[in-house]
Amino acid sequence: MSIVGTRVVRQEDRNLITAGGTYVDDLRAEALSGAAHAVFVRSPIAHARIGGIDVSEAKAAPGVLGVFTAADLGLDPHPAGPVKEPWLADEVVRYVGEPVALVLTEERYQLADAAELVDVDYEPLDAVAGIGAALDGETLLYPETGSNIVQVNGMAEFDDAIFEDCEVVVTQTIANQRVAPAPLEVRGASLAWGEDGRLTAWLSTQNAQIARSQLAGSLGVGEESVRVIAPDVGGGFGAKIGADPEATVLGWAAKQLGRPVRWVESRSENLTSMTHGRAQLNTVTIGGKRDGTVLAYRLDVVQDAGAYPRTLFLPTLTELMAVGVYRFPQVQTRSRAVVTNTTPIAAYRGAGRPEATAAVERAMDLFAAELGLDPADVRRANFIRPEEFPYRTPTGAFYDTGEYAAALDKVLETAGYAELRAEQRRRREAGDPVELGLGIAAYVEITGGDGGGESGRVDIHPDGSVVAWTGSSPHGQGLGTSLAMLLADRLGVPLEKITVRHGDTDEVPKAIGTFGSRSLQLGGSAIRQAADEVIAQARDLAANLLEAAPEDLELDVERGVWQVRGAPSSTVLSWAQVAETASDGKLTADVWFGDGQPTFPFGAHLAVVEVDTETGKVQLRRIVAVDDAGPIVNPLTFRGQRHGGLGQGAAQALMEVVTYDDDGNPTTASLADYSFITAVELPDFELVDMATPTDRNLLGVKGIGEAATIGSTPAVHNAVVDALSTRGVKHLDMPTTPIRVWAALSEGNVQ
Amino acid sequence: MKVSIEVNGRPVTEEVPDRTLLVHFLRDTAGLTATNIGCDTTSCGACTVLLDGESVKSCTVLAAQADGHEVTTVEGLTAADGALHPVQRAFREQHGLQCGFCTPGMIMASVSLLADNPKPTRDEVRAGLEGNLCRCTGYHNIVSAVIDASGQEVDR
């Protein structure tokens, strides 16, 4: 029996549960002995001109090895984005948390003392604290550009004609609030220049190879002069893609000081200085017939990009995925990205797709509510049907496979939807102040959508051991175990003999790494392809040894031996015996799986909430979820990815939000203030399995890293609105905190 | 000041600055890096260890306060022959960890929870671990791991 598809506990775990792994701040490598400790002095003001910086006192403080500001750096500007982000702020600071100076000391505890002595003269400017102020344009972050709008995509002007034939049209502006990725491990880096002139950088990153290219480029050295190692990484969620600007400054400083440098930020620093996610303001307009058929849909996206747009793919990806699982005949989208005096926005679990899904799933509920129809029925009436795949959406996405109605039906049946609706009615008739709310979300998302491929290498040694190198960069997903399972299945080698390595650019020079739920479908396919190449090599060698024609040989994966087909009692050869005869001492194949097209995982979620209308408190009682990502390699980690996604997605709907006051001061800048979700707010998850394969990669798999996040946010959000639907509330924005619910009820009761 | 702490049964004595936090003493002086730092507001629980058998957040205890006391970290749970502690075993078996960063603190908090309540319900586990944050698992399998470690059947 194949090991693929069976529950396998992770190979990664033993070290993590006994020794706690080796994260970047745990490194005690010889190359880092005598390392200077580093801290960034960051702007406490959202928008200000820097009148001057006096570092003299700081330089004289105990243990200080160096204090550097923009004036000291001889680096070319940061290449990314439509505006140039300085490595350290030079003339103007544009968000609270922006790095202004770097302080290096002998001892960790000397950092805070010295940093406090860096005297920066800030001349405050008016702040653009959010999307509204950015669009007003009264204050500009970059006056020379004449606007706070840094990117426009889609239709310049909307044409209302698409709604002409509609019997009902509903429009709603929906905030998809800014949230903090908040991996448990904050950002950290350790860097050392060797005597050979090479830089070794240990980074908490999802993409060592991308980080290497970024560091080499920004430091002005060749890629061969930089080695990046991703040690154990304590979560990323999209916010650790590549190298952040701090790594470049630290690499420069290490060279300047002539000694290694180590840096780990504080959590409070992390909450203002690591990129945030989401931060869109979306206006949906949906129209159709009274029977529930949607005829036209419009999505107007405004993306808050923060002070320095490091990436601008989020709003356009939201446009691409605008229609979700529905066959809308007429669709219009546009997006604008604006700069604000806030922390830069970048990828966060889902990255562009949760925003699209939240918009269209709220729109479907608003449309259903306006018609007085059940939201499940309205969805069924508009799903793209199984026979329509592959399906090209009006916005240009090319969906592979989907069973959208089946997913929803399974969820509703498992949850007991009819009984839940009856319970909701019963409570209402009884005047129960604790309302029951049911929220549905049906979703499709895109994984491996970056258009790139991934590397994979497999070696089989004369002792029978297998070593694989993946270009993917797992940091908690359990991909190492999944890849070992794929190899065990394909080669017939037991798991214990297989080692999977990743994350060191000297070992894996060419790779893209982990984001966008790409790793199994691309990295896994690469490993599969490498395994098949090794098998082809072995077939020829084994044929030689057994004096048979290669086509007469077979690999018996049950026993892990080569034999002549149809002659089971004849001589067999082990992998070790075959590897021994390989010309360079081992069997090896190093491949690039390059034709990886995007795949489109989908699913349906039902959330059940209780809302205490007297206090506004929402308690999430149940989430029932189908997340279909094709064939499952390891159900244990597959379910784990879904659990994590459900938790993070629910967190956005229920409680998490990054906030600023009108002057751009962050008001959620520590874990005491940011409502990071805990075990108490979440229920046990109810997972329902479905597996619809794709034809777009060797394994038939789709990505599962982000899927459940995407469905759960609108499911929970819709559930809260549903609970309040007979009390005059048609919509309230996330997070659905008690104060928001209470305010919505007060307004609703007035209407 | 001179601080002497028995860490995982081994006395560690060192002259450290007065303001040294217990977590830094464990990581930098005792050389035990499993105990992690995840925040600066005593919110996340990644640094949870046992101080004389009671769970504490070691970022909020001065090394000086632990002087003359016993501390157990996750490194101290594994038996000399490599056998896993029941809570370690259950976290692995139930996939109660992903990135692993919260795990040492989560395991120590769970050990403490089970010492107080040997047969907790799932809701009691959730309440007991409210002070320990995890970003990866959605907590479901952490709860299952604690139930498993308590000898009760995991039914979901």
d(CA A90, CA A317): 33
Q: How many CB atoms lie within 10 A of CB A740?
A: 17
How would residue A77 be classed by pLDDT, with cut points 50, 70 and 90? Answer: confident
Interchain CB distance below 8 Å, B91 and A17: yes
Specify the residue for token string 């889609």. Answer: A154
Pair of tokens at residue A101: 């100076």
Pair A734, A675: CB distance under 8 Å = no
Specify the residue for token string 């090599």. Answer: A537
How would residue A80 be classed by pLDDT, with cut points 50, 70 and 90? Answer: low
Of all residues in chain A, the one with the smallest CA distance to B44 is: A671
pLDDT(A751) > 70: no
Of A14, A109, A235, the CB nearest to B101: A235
Pair of tokens at residue A399: 């969906």
- Containing A484, the helix (H) or strand (E) segment is helix A479-491
**Average pLDDT rounded to a whole number, residues A412-428:** 98
Pair A283, A172: CB distance under 8 Å = yes
Interchain CB distance below 8 Å, A109 and B17: yes
Residues B39-70 have pLDDT tens digits of 999 999 999 999 999 999 999 999 999 999 99
Give, in order, the Cα–Cα distances in Å from A489 to each of A7, A25, A483, A563: 14, 37, 10, 17
Specify the 3-state DSSP secondary structure of A569.
coil
CB contacts of B84 in chain A (<8 Å) are: 17-18
CB contacts of A476 in chain B (<8 Å) are: 98-100, 136
CB contacts of B101 in chain A (<8 Å) are: 21, 23, 183-185, 234-235
Specify the 3-state DSSP secondary structure of A358.
helix
Give, in order, the Cα–Cα distances in Å from A632 to each of A194, A423, B154: 44, 35, 22
Query: Does A16 contact chain B (CB < 8 Å)?
Result: yes
Q: Where are the beta strands (DSSP E) in A629-727?
A: 685-688
pLDDT(A246) > 60: yes
CB contacts of A670 in chain B (<8 Å) are: 39-41, 43
Q: What is the 3-state secondary structure (H, E, C) of A227-296?
A: EEECCCCCCCCCCCCCCCHHHHHHHHHHHHHCCCEEEECCHHHHHHHCCEEEEEEEEEEEEECCCCCEEE
Q: Among A11, A304, A362, A298, which residue's Cα sits nearest to residue A155? A: A298
> For residue A262, what pLDDT is reported?
98
> For residue A81, what pLDDT is reported?
62
Of all residues in chain A, the one with the smallest CA distance to B84 is: A18
Of all residues in chain A, the one with the smallest CA distance to B154 is: A684
Pair A624, A511: CB distance under 8 Å = no
Chain A closest-CA separation from residue B139 CA (Å) = 6
Cα R_g (chain B), whole angstroms: 15
Interchain CB distance below 8 Å, A10 and B136: no
d(CA A229, CA A221): 17
**Which residue of A8, A9, A11, A16 is the best one to mutate when testing the B interface, meaning the one whose CB has the most B CBs within 10 A?**
A16
How would residue A523 be classed by pLDDT, with cut points 50, 70 and 90? Answer: very high
pLDDT(A78) > 90: no
CB contacts of A234 in chain B (<8 Å) are: 36, 99-101
Pair A169, A285: CB distance under 8 Å = yes
Specify the residue for token string 């039914």. Answer: B155
Chain A closest-CA separation from residue B46 CA (Å) = 8
Give, in order, the Cα–Cα distances in Å from A695 to each of A257, A492, A598, A602, A703: 54, 25, 11, 15, 13
Count how many pairs of residues, chain A against chain B, have C-beta atoms within 8 Å: 184
DSSP B27: I
At residue A271, φ and ψ (nearest 5 deg) are -75, -10
Chain A closest-CA separation from residue B68 CA (Å) = 24
Specify the residue for token string 């919260």. Answer: B102
Residues B81-116 have pLDDT tens digits of 999 999 999 999 999 999 999 999 999 999 999 999
Of all residues in chain B, the one with the smallest CA distance to A110 is: B17
pLDDT(A749) > 70: no
Interchain CB distance below 8 Å, B101 and A648: no
How would residue A222 be classed by pLDDT, with cut points 50, 70 and 90? Answer: very high
**Which residue of A6, A10, A13, A23 is the best one to mutate when testing the B interface, meaning the one whose CB has the most B CBs within 10 A?**
A13
Query: Does A389 contact chain B (CB < 8 Å)?
Result: no
pLDDT(A730) > 90: yes
A48 CB-near residues (< 8 Å, 6+ apart): A92, A93, A122, A123, A124, A125
Pair of tokens at residue A397: 């996405």
Query: Does A233 contact chain B (CB < 8 Å)?
Result: yes
**Average pLDDT rounded to a whole number, residues A454-461:** 98
Q: How many CB atoms lie within 10 A of CB A750?
A: 7
> For residue A747, what pLDDT is reported?
85
CB contacts of B40 in chain A (<8 Å) are: 266-268, 670-671
Cα–Cα–Cα angle for A585, A587, A593, nearest 5°?
140
Chain B closest-CA separation from residue A184 CA (Å) = 6
A556 CB-near residues (< 8 Å, 6+ apart): A492, A562, A563, A572
d(CA B11, CA B30): 9
A701 CB-near residues (< 8 Å, 6+ apart): A520, A521, A524, A599, A629, A630, A631, A633, A693, A694
Q: Among A417, A413, A19, which residue's Cα sits nearest to residue B107? A: A19
Chain A closest-CA separation from residue B103 CA (Å) = 7
> For residue A240, what pLDDT is reported?
98
Give, in order, the Cα–Cα distances in Å from A206 to each of A213, A229, A243, A512, B3: 14, 10, 9, 9, 39
How would residue A79 be classed by pLDDT, with cut points 50, 70 and 90? Answer: low
d(CA B113, CA B117): 6
At residue A578, φ and ψ (nearest 5 deg) are -70, -45
> For residue A594, what pLDDT is reported?
87
Interchain CB distance below 8 Å, A645 and B97: no
Q: How many CB atoms lie within 10 A of CB A222?
A: 9
Interchain CB distance below 8 Å, A640 and B92: no
How would residue A595 be classed by pLDDT, with cut points 50, 70 and 90? Answer: confident
Paired with A605 in beta bridges are A441, A625
Pair A23, A231: CB distance under 8 Å = yes
Of all residues in chain A, the one with the smallest CA distance to B86 is: A17
Give, in order, the Cα–Cα distances in Å from A262 to each of A40, A190, A200, B137: 12, 4, 12, 29
d(CA A186, CA A246): 13
Query: Does A33 contact chain B (CB < 8 Å)?
Result: no
pLDDT(A481) > 90: yes
Of B24, B27, B130, the CB nearest to A679: B130
Q: How are strands ordered across the β-sheet holding A149-154?
A: A149-154, A330-338, A294-304, A277-288, A168-179
DSSP A321: T
Q: Among A509, A702, A528, A500, which residue's Cα sits nearest to residue A601? A: A702
Q: What residue type is assigned to position A610 of the chain?
A: E
Interchain CB distance below 8 Å, B107 and A17: yes
Give, in order, the Cα–Cα distances in Å from B120 to each of A130, A285, A470, B149, B153: 46, 49, 41, 10, 12
Of A18, A20, A671, the CB nearest to B36: A20
pLDDT(A750) > 60: no
Query: Taking each helix axis from N to C terminus, what angle separates A479-491 and A525-546, rounded to the nearest 10 degrees?
Result: 30
Pair B149, B94: CB distance under 8 Å = no
Pair of tokens at residue A594: 């390059």
Specify the residue for token string 């669709």. Answer: A331
**Average pLDDT rounded to a whole number, residues A610-636:** 98
pLDDT above 70 coverage of chain B, percent? 100
DSSP A517: T
Q: Among A307, A302, A337, A276, which residue's Cα sits nearest to residue A142? A: A307
Pair A542, A240: CB distance under 8 Å = no
Pair of tokens at residue A419: 């009984």
> For residue A55, what pLDDT is reported?
98
Specify the residue for token string 């448990």. Answer: A184
